[in-house]
Amino acid sequence: MSETLSEPKRVLLIISGGIAAYKSLELIRTLRREGVAVRCVMTKAAEEFVTPLSVAALSEDKVYTDLFSLTDEAEMGHIQLSRSADLLAVAPATADILARMAHGNANDIATTVLLATDKPVMAAPAMNVRMWDHPATQANIATLKQRGVEMIGPVEGDMACGEFGYGRMSEPAEIASAILSRLHAATGAQAKPLAGRSAIVTSGPTHEPIDPVRYIANRSSGRQGHAIAEALAQAGAAVTLVSGPTRLADPAGVETVHVETAQQMLDACLTALPADIAVCAAAVADWRVSGKADQKLKKDSGSLPSLALTENPDILATLSKTGSTRPALVVGFAAETEAVLEHAMAKRKRKGCDWILANDVSEGTGTFGGDRNRIHFIDENGHQDWPDSTKVEVATTLTEKIAAHFAGTTT
């Protein structure tokens, strides 16, 4: 996920009472894998969703739930607890705890340590879409941001209540990545091997309109491309992310350009040139309708509409052959459903790019829309099979290879 911290760091994780509390268990596990010590505070409502025993087992530390425990106050008072960590993170951050944070309440152990801390605070909101959109919540968010609280998400998606929209908590890997980035930035511990370099990353699908309400697209979530953009930024590169329509929040420290069509994506990439690195992770629609209908096509016309298709511009091939403005390193992706290596190797030669990351996206793999990826790395010397990994881990591995490439070393 990131380079190892030069010295042990501690996060105080505050778990509040929402259904997304179950994700806090994976967040603890991820941070612990990265060498971060995690101490947890739970609200009473959080205990209705996950048990202190589970949290203690994963964090390997005591869990704090009661403000008035005399033993805790003798051994670890709330002031010391609030300042013993390098960073405080609230995940999930419900509408209730965000409101109490904004108004300076201190009526339980969670809000007391938040009010008493002098350390950075991050929050990952999680709530119903109507609660997120409510003016009171938005006012509380604005207040907290003004005070320096960094928000991670939320993202758009399906909710436990059956509704859809913004308010879904970011995935644990994304929250962990943001926390680690903040820890690195605060201590200066993170090496910046790509400092002074610039990068273009494409991500997500493209939407090619058929009429004002319909479009051609694919199942790409954008998670891999967004993770790569963030990893490159953490390594010091100045990153422009050109993203098709996704439900993801813009990565921290990245300039994001939002587009819909393949032509718009290509135009944005060309505008971002010159760049040292281009990573084409977007799943661009190969075709578009040659003549988009100005009005909605009606199915009650008595006949099926005839759609004439034309090829979309080839972004990877174009960036690989842009002459004097060609990036020094052009990386493409090959999403295949059969003969993955053979098709990907042929694609690398055909497109003229330097590297190809091939993956199997056939039905049942869960690659499109999922959190994991299995990569076959291909360059002029052959191929490497990377182990099954999270998309954040793939992004880190790729960034390390890019940094080694520019340093003149191999990995």
Strands (E), 293-380: 309-311, 329-336, 355-360, 372-373, 376-379
Find out whether 298 is annotated in a ligand binding site.
no
Q: Specify the pLDDT at position 370.
A: 64
Q: Is 86 annotated as a binding residue?
A: no
Q: What is the pLDDT of residues 256-280, one digit of tens each?
A: 999 999 999 999 999 999 999 999 9
**What pLDDT shows up at residue 46?**
95
What pLDDT does 97 receive?
Answer: 97
CB 204 within 8 A of CB 282: yes
| 3-state SS assignment for residue 13 | strand
In one-letter notation, the amino acid at residue 115 is L
Residue linked to tokens 């493209």: 206
Is residue 409 within 8 A of residue 195, CB to CB? The reply is no
Architecture of the domain defined by 198-407: 3-Layer(aba) Sandwich (3.40)
Alpha carbons within 13 A on the beta-carbon side of 399:
34
- Any alpha helices (H) in 84-128, and if so which ranges? 95-102, 109-116
How much is the pLDDT for 51?
Answer: 95
pTM reported for the whole predicted model = 0.64
pLDDT at site 79: 72
Low-confidence stretches of the chain (pLDDT beneath 50): 1-3, 70, 189
Is 9-187 a CATH 1.10.357.10 domain? no
Amino acid at residue number 13: L
> Is residue 49 a known part of a binding site?
no
What is the predicted pLDDT for the residue at 323? 84
Question: Among 376, 375, 331, which Cα is nearest to 354's?
Answer: 331
Angle subtended at Cα 247 by Cα 244 and Cα 248, rounded to the nearest 5 degrees: 85
Q: Is 401 labelled a binding residue? A: no
Flag whether 406 is marked binding: no
92 is in an annotated binding site: no
Structure tokens at 286: 């190969």
> What integer pLDDT is reported at residue 393 of this predicted model?
87
Q: Is 313 annotated as a binding residue?
A: yes
List where CATH 3.40.50.10300 sits in the chain. Answer: 198-407
Q: By the 8 A CB rule, do 170 and 155 touch?
A: yes
Q: Where in the chain is the domain with CATH 3.40.50.1950?
A: 9-187
228 known member of a binding site: no
pLDDT at 100: 96
Catalytic residues: 161
DSSP state, residue 125: E
Q: Other C-beta atoms within 10 Å of 68: how many?
A: 9
User: pLDDT tens for residues 80-92?
Assistant: 788 788 999 999 9
Angstrom distance (rounded) from CA 86 to CA 297: 57
| Separation between Cα atoms, residue 46 and residue 6, nearest integer Å | 33
Radius of gyration of the chain from its Cα atoms, rounded to whole angstroms: 23
Please indicate if the annotation marks 286 as binding a ligand.
yes
Under 8 Å between Cβ of 198 and 237: yes
